[in-house]
Amino acid sequence: MADYRAPLRDMRFLLNEVFEAPKLWQSLPALAEVVDAETAEAILEEAGKITAGTIAPLNRSGDEEGCHWDDGQVRTPAGYREAYRLYAEGGWVGVGGDPAYGGMGMPKVISAQVEEMMNSASLAFGLYPMLTSGACLSIHAHASEELKQKYLPNLYSGVWAGSMCLTEPHAGTDLGMIRTRAEPQADGSYKVSGTKIFITGGEHDLTENIIHLVLAKLPDAPAGSRGISLFLVPKVLVADDGSLGERNALSCGSIEHKMGIQASATCVMNFDGATGWMVGEPNKGLAAMFTMMNYERLGVGIQGLSTGERSYQSAIEYARERIQSRAPTGPVAQDKAADPIIVHPDVRRMLLTMKALNEGGRAFSSYVALQLDIAKFSDDAQARQRADAQVALLTPVAKAFLTDMGLETTIHGQQVFGGHGFIREWGQEQLVRDCRITQIYEGTNGIQALDLLGRKVVGSGGELYRPFADEVRAFIAAAGPELAEFSVPLEAALQNLDELTGWVLDRAQRSPNEIGAASVEYLHVFGYTAYAFMWAMMGKAALGREDDAFYRSKLGTARFYFARLLPRIHSLSASVRAGSEALYLLDAADF
């Protein structure tokens, strides 16, 4: 596998030339004194060094060795503890954290780029700081000041780690069915009892403490999801002076043996009257957890992008070096027995598909991250409200479409290698295995599609959809004739999405099955259209600069996207319009 190289040039292009993020930062008082273009570049450069130089070399060895469980203790693969210590000492765990508690205070659009580099280097390794960051988000937004002061500094510094304990053996998507209980105590604490499964980083040897955020129900809780509360439950109890005390009444019962992410400890966690403290209000646990869901679901989308990027870097190197057969137009490498496989049309199709989906995905994830920053930091209430609505609409697209395209990309990368792609030592098959989980956890992609179409589009009567469509329309209206090769097909794609949205809104009133039947294909139509918007913006920034190889490559990839990938929306739209009837022609026994 090729050595990983952080795509810093493309990241700078997006931040500075496409989205003009430094101008946004200067317009937001909360960020103006914290970050500028030079600070952002320095942070990304350093992140690129540690991820490429320290983390990436552990990716294959970590996959080969995996985690080890022994009597409740989990040992991570060789090199992980040392690498995690270096990563934490650099402040990277708290890159987006509140400076008042020791975080770096960077906007999400920067931490998203850091996340991409980390996950490209090693998706399994990146899950440990990702879960810690997610725990910090909920604690910061909902916990008491006492809990924030007590836990956030050591979480941001990476001295402690975090986990999220949601799923139970019988309750995955339907969290209202959870059975974990929390009994109130006289001192204001709670005794938490129950079993949680699929807990990423529930137990490991990277940090001296792990802070679990656990969903549980109070004795008098209402039924269903309205009766869920959130509790902070440390692995090791923390004294008032911050020192560590006794081990809490919780344990890791086992770790899962998985298809991928072998170096990430996926744990069964048993809470046996463990001491915890409520985060937020009683019976409002899901709201507290959803505070970080928009961030974490974007983060999972970025994981799909990350594996696709790593696969592309290896595939392009291999395609330039591997010689097989001659080009259709005749020999290219006259001094060799055959030509490099990059001359072959089908190999080029796969490589360009990978490149277009990766770069489009990087632009889209950055765009969503900017909306999160506006929603969090803007002083303008109207701007915050609009950005919040955009985040609500686009988060399921970011999670599902980025990961669906990530799997497609890693499979293309494996295919470029031919038979060698099926062999473990080349690394491509690991990326396929690792990427696969991103479509499943943090809400399966089918659930994300239902969220987009059912809750966000149909549930709002189309109101959440319109501002995004209006922004794309405004871009098209402002585009000059020089941008017509991008703006004209973008306008046609947007019109198709408008009409498809109207069709689903109408049909959903007649049949409850229509939303579920249309949701996945609708999300993909939305995703390809959103990427077209990204590519039109990137094309605009690159036009007229073709003498530079970077911009020439960008424009060529944009043209490929509009010619060969955007047309996928037509078959997807036809599937949506086919309706739900064909899904119900068979009884359950007839399958």
Bridge partners (DSSP) of residue 278 are 231
Label residue 292 by pLDDT band (50, 70, 90). confident
Handedness of CA 419, 422, 423, 428 (dihedral sign): positive
Average pLDDT over residues 15-43: 97
pLDDT above 90 for 175: no
440-459 residues labelled b (16+ CB within 10 A) or e (exposed): bbbbebbbbbbbbbbebbbe
Res. 466: pLDDT tops 80: yes
pLDDT at residue 391, rounded to an integer: 96
Query: What Rg do the C-alpha atoms of the chain give, in angstroms?
Result: 24
- Amino acid, res. 53: G
Give dist(CA 153, CA 250) in Å, integer: 23
Residue 116 CB neighbours (<10 A): 27
For residues 310 and 4, is the Cβ–Cβ distance under 8 A?
yes
Q: What is the pLDDT of residue 295?
A: 83
**How far is 155 from 139, CA to CA, in rounded Å?**
10
**pLDDT tens figures, 551-575:** 999 999 999 999 999 999 999 999 9
d(CA 156, CA 358): 30
Phi-psi region of 484 (alpha: psi -120 to 50; beta: other; left: phi over 0): alpha
**Is-contact 306 313, C-beta < 8 A?**
no
Higher per-residue pLDDT: 401 or 173 = 401
Rounded Cα gap, residues 489 and 562, in angstroms: 7
Q: What is the set of active-site residues?
A: 442
- Is the pLDDT assigned to residue 225 strictly greater than 90? no
pTM of the model: 0.97
Mean pLDDT of the 175-195 span: 96
Q: What are 69's strand-pairing partners?
A: 74
Distance CA 243, CA 7 (A): 41
Rounded Cα distance, 11 and 1, in Å: 23
CB 264 within 8 A of CB 124: yes
The full DSSP string for 509-539 is: TT-THHHHHHHHHHHHHHHHHHHHHHHHHHH
CB 435 within 8 A of CB 304: yes
Tell whether the model's pLDDT for residue 216 goes beyond 80. Answer: yes
Cα-based distances in Å from 298 to 220, 251, 431, 450: 35, 30, 19, 17
Q: Does 497 have pLDDT greater than 80?
A: yes
Is residue 290 pLDDT above 90, yes or no?
no
Contact, 316 vs 5, CB < 8 A?
no
Q: For the residues 165-180, what does the mean pLDDT come to? A: 91
Give the E-state strand segments of 376-528 in sequence order.
none
User: Of all residues in the chain, what percent carry a pLDDT higher than 90?
Assistant: 96
How far is the first Cα of the chain from the last one, in angstroms, to the nearest whole number?
Answer: 42
285, two tokens: 């646990």
What are the distances in angstroms from CA 5 to CA 9, 108, 571?
Answer: 11, 22, 36
Cβ proximity of 194 and 271 under 8 Å? yes
Mean pLDDT in residue range 490-499: 98
User: Is the pLDDT at 294 greater than 80, yes or no?
Assistant: no
Q: Residue 520 pLDDT > 80, yes or no? A: yes
Residue 432 structure tokens? 């396929």
DSSP notation for 369-390: HHHHHHHHH-S-HHHHHHHHHH
Residue type at position 288: A
Residue 293, pLDDT above cutoff 80: no
Residue 270 near residue 253 (C-beta atoms within 8 A): yes
- The reported pLDDT for the residue numbered 561 is 99
> What's the CA gap between 353 and 346, in Å, rounded?
10
Residue 515 dihedral angles phi and psi, to the nearest 5°: -65, -50
Task: Tell me the pLDDT of the chain averaged across its residues.
Answer: 97
Would you say 362 and 409 are in contact if contact means Cβ atoms under 8 Å apart?
no
Q: How confident is the model at residue 2 (pLDDT cuts 50, 70, 90)?
A: confident
Q: Identify any residues that bridge with 230 across adjacent strands, giving them in sequence order.
A: 215, 279
- 291 in Cβ contact with 276 (< 8 Å): no
499's CB contacts (< 8 A; 6+ apart) are none
